[in-house]
Amino acid sequence: MTTALLTDRYELTMVQAALRSGKSERKTVFEVFTRNLPAGRRYGVVAGVGRLLSAIEDFKFEEPEIEFLLSDGIVDAETAEWLKGFRFSGSIHGYREGELFFANSPVLTVESTFAEAVILETLILSTLNYDSAVASAAARMRFAAGNRYLAEMGARRANEHAAVAAARAAFIVGFDATSNLEAGRSFGVPTMGTSAHSFTLLHDTETEAFESQIEVMGVGTTLLVDTFDVEEAVREAVRLTDGKIAAVRLDSGDLSVAATKVRELLDSLGARDTKIVVTSDLDENTIAALAAAPVDRYGVGTSLVTGSGHPTVGFVYKLVSHAAGDEWVDVAKESRNKTNRGGKKSASRLVVDGIATAELVGSASEGRALQVPLIIDGKVDLSAIGIAGVTAARAHHQMAIKELPAAGFRLSSGEPAVPTTFV
């Protein structure tokens, strides 16, 4: 399916006007960055790169799209002809998926003609802003959970397509599994899931529901024990499995108190190997608060797919340079509180004794280079997309997050963990 109409009308308006003025083929450099991290956040995580590259490959105007644009008077015949032949032929360099970013990090650099570059603005921003928001929140949750199992289960709290993107982003930063089946199929994210309260309520007794689930899934399943009386449910779960039930799930109440009581009960019944899973409106702060509780696994939904209070990371897409004959002219917006620096930039991270100390932006040459080629002359780096891309992004994030200073892991509000220095 084409992604060409997943954009704003003004992108095509600008293309049409540039065709008319003769500036459509002028060579340009666009940059994706955020002026500031979301309030209080100490770092961000780049996500969505693989999805974006796939979307750019599918960004083409076929007959139904052209017909719509003409019939609604959105473009003229000249522009429609240009759109028919559109395929992005420029180059894009950017941060690897899973990489950390900070204020003014040039996360993406797009080099192409004005028309080819500007038409991708909305597609680039909508993909990277959402996926990076989820990944940034998920990384905080991953830290708060320590080594405990962490599952994404927010599909019902998001747009159906956003749900897949969220599961993918969460897996990249270290989540263990997702409830979303499409994320499993498309991106290789391990899937999990057992039953809801409706399944228990369907049956005449809780025992009957447990027996049915165990018959299908075996004692390795997780039983939901808070539909009625938690203590009675736990006792029944242990009795039906001779103490071999893999896990029980709590989805309501004071989770710390409930988990402690359930752990004591399980141990007293000889089910010492049974794990305790908690769900119910978790975020990084509630996960951290449960650190001392006997919880083995967490399931996170709403907070994750909404970026835990920050559903976007504030990426913008700005023209920073254009050609004028044989010369390049650096340009920049000067609006109050929305300024940016002109000129094509490189980026590197200064790392001392394994810890990042500065984000160097400009003509940086020292430190770990941050930008890599993603598209060269229209050819996409296929290693960055699909399941292979997710696997690579997950591995890269594990490396990058180790460079974060200790202060960067604090969940309280604070300044960026790594300062950005223009060089």
Handedness of CA 157, 163, 169, 170 (dihedral sign): positive
> Residue 147 falls within a domain, yes or no?
no
CA distance 234 to 232: 6
Is 385 found in the same domain as 315?
yes
What does DSSP assign to residue 156?
Answer: G
Q: Are strands 222-224 and 247-250 parallel, antiparallel or unpaired?
A: parallel
398 contact partners, CB below 8 Å, separation of at least 6 = 98, 174
Q: List the pLDDT tens digit at each of the 423 positions of the chain.
A: 899 999 999 999 999 999 999 999 999 999 999 999 999 999 999 999 999 999 999 999 999 999 999 999 999 999 999 999 999 999 999 999 999 999 999 999 999 999 999 999 999 999 999 999 999 999 999 999 999 999 999 999 999 999 999 999 999 999 999 999 999 999 999 999 999 999 999 999 999 999 999 999 999 999 999 999 999 999 999 999 999 999 999 999 999 999 999 999 999 999 999 999 999 999 999 999 999 999 999 999 999 999 999 999 999 999 999 999 889 999 998 877 777 899 999 999 999 999 999 999 998 778 999 999 999 999 999 999 999 999 999 999 999 999 999 999 999 999 999 999 999
Smallest Cα–Cα separation from 355: which of 317, 314, 401, 391? 401
pLDDT given at position 222: 98
- Sequence-distant (6+) residues with CB within 8 A of 216 are none
- The amino acid occupying position 110 is V
Question: Do residue 337 and residue 383 come from a single domain?
Answer: yes
Question: pLDDT value at position 60?
Answer: 97
Question: Do 130 and 14 reside in the same domain of the chain?
Answer: yes
Contact assessment for residue 170 and residue 138, using Cβ atoms and an 8 Å cutoff: yes
Q: Is residue 159 part of a domain?
A: no
Domain containing residue 347: CATH number: 3.20.140.10
Q: Give Cα separations from 84 to 60, 78, 376 (angstroms).
A: 7, 10, 22
Q: What is the pTM of this model?
A: 0.96
Does some domain include residue 106?
yes
Classified as helix, coil or strand, 214 is helix
**Residue 285 counted as domain residue:** yes
Q: Do 129 and 13 have their domain in common?
A: yes
Q: Are residues 327 and 393 in the same domain?
A: yes
Last residue of a domain, one of 295, 328, 343: 295
**pLDDT value for 334:** 81
Q: What is the pLDDT of residue 374?
A: 98
pLDDT at 333: 81
Residues 319, 290 share a domain: no
Residues 270 and 382 in one domain: no
- Per the structure, the count of domains in the chain is 2
The helix or strand, by DSSP H or E, that contains position 278, with its residue range, turns out to be: strand 275-278
Of 406, 419, 408, 401, the C-alpha closest to 359 is 419
Run of H or E residues at 346 = strand 346-352
> Has residue 358 been placed in a domain?
yes
Task: Please tell me whether residues 315 and 291 are part of one structural domain.
Answer: no
Looking at residue 234, what is its pLDDT?
98
Instruction: With residue 222 as reference, give the H or E element that holds it.
Output: strand 222-224
Q: Does 141 reside within a domain?
A: no
Contact 276, 250 (CB under 8 A): yes
Q: Do 279 and 335 share a domain, yes or no?
A: no
Q: How far is CA 109 from the centre of its chain?
A: 20
**At a CB cut-off of 8 Å and minimum separation 6, what does 57 contact?**
380
Q: 289 and 335 share a domain? A: no
Same domain (yes/no): 326, 260? no
Q: Mention every residue, 6+ apart, whose C-beta is less than 8 A from residue 319.
A: 28, 29, 30, 114, 118, 331
Which residue has 């969460």 as its token pair? 170
- In whole angstroms, what is the distance from residue 307 CA to residue 287 CA? 15
Range of the domain at 274: 194-295
Whole-angstrom distance, CA of residue 131 vs CA of residue 172? 10
pLDDT for res 335: 75
Residue 168 lies inside a defined structural domain of this protein: no
CA 415 to chain centre: 22
Does 67 fall in a domain?
Answer: yes
Domain shared by 281 and 315, yes or no: no
Report the DSSP pairing between strands 420-422 and 355-362: parallel
Which domain CATH number covers 236? 3.20.20.70
| Residue 356, pLDDT score | 98
Last residue of a domain, one of 233, 262, 295: 295
Residue type, 156: R
Could you give the angle at which helices 49-57 and 386-401 cross, rounded to 10 degrees? 150
Query: What phi and psi, each to the nearest 5 degrees, are found at residue 38?
Result: -50, 145
